[in-house]
Chains A and B, each alone.
Chain A
């Protein structure tokens, strides 16, 4: 695809997202904001998982901590909301450093298991500490600045922050750091042998991923004005992992697409039956059997094949 064509497509997509609040009912505006928020969370997970080969099995904890960080800073500490929106992701990144330092010595599944344990510990603290985190009730009615308080305002806030975050991650993945990270994913021993300090790079990737999960957490605070412990429960971590796998875990935008599919499923199928996870199960099996690289991964493969067939004439 030529650069010009890409820019044109990007502008059209941006324009479409910009007019959404004018054409659609409020419920859909909220739903799209929620999809993009969850999508950014899944994308940040995929930064570590799909591009870094890191078994980040409890990524939701950074999302929850980012959201709680901002929410507590606003409601309990009385900080300026804009400042709090920056504090949240920074706390998430800090937690990534701490958990990363503990986990990064282990490999693959052991890494993931330890992360689930540590993350559940954080969840338990949040779940129990009524005076500070609101316990199992969470915190509701979090005041946000006037300009982003309306449904439309929060929608635009979410879109702009998500677009900026995606752009940052895109740049990072195409930088030498990103190339090296993908090298480590493909072959850690080899990376070490060409002079790469594998653990340092993996740790850095986890911190970046944790930071953007925190950003998604802040987006949720703005869109929903509330936080609750389920945001960092391990089931959400599994859900966003499925989103990444479904959308295409070697692609940047795949997780976004996966989030759209799953959040839509949950919203519309759950309206008919409480067994909506059955539908999710079927979708998962289809992906595992027929689209091992996810939807976008499949599309990319097909278009590459077309392109090379075209080249050959």
Chain B
């Protein structure tokens, strides 16, 4: 579904992403792991059009989308959440998701119908599916960190994605919130048939839910494969898993 070929991006001489490769098939959950600064977030920014690559290609459903602006990438069916909470802070939870649905239906240039009469059902459905229903009226600033991260996902869902990209969905969450988030990701994959690409530091989470894993080090792809293949790869162990033998675990 998504193919990233030989993609690179440098920031004033520093190669943040260096000839990275990535494949995501329809219906899969794929994780990208790598040490801090490996270029995971930059890679996601390149895929979603927030940054333009210096070289390389991004193909989505066989169509080239390299360098397309973010709003067009979104309309193709790729939406994302952000690592640092990135919501509409002065608006209520409900409005946050409503805007996303309005944008998806391309109604944002509707000038005179009151918003409160539009897309209430779609918005409610999304809030229900992520378990934020009781909190629709709260202003985002008043939410707990975990709820805000979930709201991130809800906003991304408003875009009716086929491919959902999550940038460290559980970062900063408490263990209970993390469990809830894992359940949520699994549910989205099963119930809505979404293809999910995410990156994460929490190894437990990665090996628990990812069908396949891609490992990045210093901007380059070391390996992409099944969790067991990745776990047993010598290069990965050296670079990332601390050199200890975790293969037998």
- Indicate whether A187 sits within 8 Å of B69 (C-beta atoms), given known contacts A194-B103, A195-B104: no
Our pick among A172, A180, A192, A193 for the contact of B108 (Cβ within 8 Å) is A180
B13 at the interface (CB under 8 A from A): no
Residues A194 and B116 in contact, CB atoms below 8 Å apart: no
CA distance A74 to B108 in the complex (A): 38
CA distance A186 to B69 in the complex (A): 20
Interchain pairs with CB closer than 8 A, number? 112
Question: Interface range on chain B: under 10, 10 to 19, 20 to 34, or 35 or more?
Answer: 35 or more
Residues A196 and B103 in contact, CB atoms below 8 Å apart: yes
B184 at the interface (CB under 8 A from A): no
Q: Binding site of A, secondary structure by majority: helix, strand, loop or mixed?
A: helix
- Please name the residue on chain B nearest to A208 by beta carbon: B111
- Please name the residue on chain B nearest to A186 by beta carbon: B88
| Min C-beta distance of B241 to chain A, whole Å | 32
Residues B115 and A183 in contact, CB atoms below 8 Å apart: no
A8-16, A105-113, A197-205: which lies at the interface? A197-205
Residues B103 and A182 in contact, CB atoms below 8 Å apart: no
Residues B88 and A187 in contact, CB atoms below 8 Å apart: yes
Contacts of B86 in A (CB 8 A): 187, 189-190
Question: Interface range on chain A: under 10, 10 to 19, 20 to 34, or 35 or more?
Answer: 20 to 34
B121 at the interface (CB under 8 A from A): no
B219 at the interface (CB under 8 A from A): no
Our pick among A182, A197, A198 for the contact of B88 (Cβ within 8 Å) is A182
Residues A177 and B79 in contact, CB atoms below 8 Å apart: no
| Min C-beta distance of A192 to chain B, whole Å | 4
B239 at the interface (CB under 8 A from A): no
Contacts of A23 in B (CB 8 A): none
Contacts of A174 in B (CB 8 A): 114-116
- Please name the residue on chain A nearest to B110 by beta carbon: A176
Other A-B pairs beyond A175-B113, A191-B103, 7, CB < 8 Å? A171-B114, A175-B114, A178-B115, A183-B88, A192-B70, A196-B99, A201-B108
- A interface residues, Cβ below 8 angstroms from B: 171-172, 174-180, 182-183, 185-187, 189-198, 201, 204, 250
